[in-house]
Amino acid sequence: MTFSEFVIFVRKNLDLSQEQLASAINVSYSTINRWENCHVTPSNLAVKSFFDFCENNFIDIPDGLL
C-alpha cells in the first residue's frame, strides 16, 4: 500500500472528508488532496502528525510505510 492509498483508506474508514482530516492534523485541505493524488511527498513532520492521528484512532500503520 502506498502512502496515498493509506491516506484514502484512513479517511474513508473514519468517514472523514478531506477537510475534516486536514483540520484534525493541522494541514490544509489541498495538502490532503495532493497526498491522495500523489502530487507531493509529505514532509517528515506531516507524516508524523498523520501517523500519530492514525495511532490515536486505533489504525495500524502498515510496516512498509514506517
The C-alpha atoms of residue 18 and residue 36 are separated, in whole angstroms, by 9
How far is Cα 28 from Cα 21, in angstroms, rounded to an integer?
A: 9
pLDDT value, residue 26: 95
Per-residue pLDDT of the chain (66 residues; tens, 9 = 90+): 999 999 999 999 999 999 999 999 999 999 999 999 999 999 999 999 999 999 999 999 999 886
Q: Answer whether 36's CB lies under 8 Å from 7's CB.
A: yes
Please, what are the domains in the chain? 3-57 (1.10.260)
Whole-model pTM above 0.75? yes
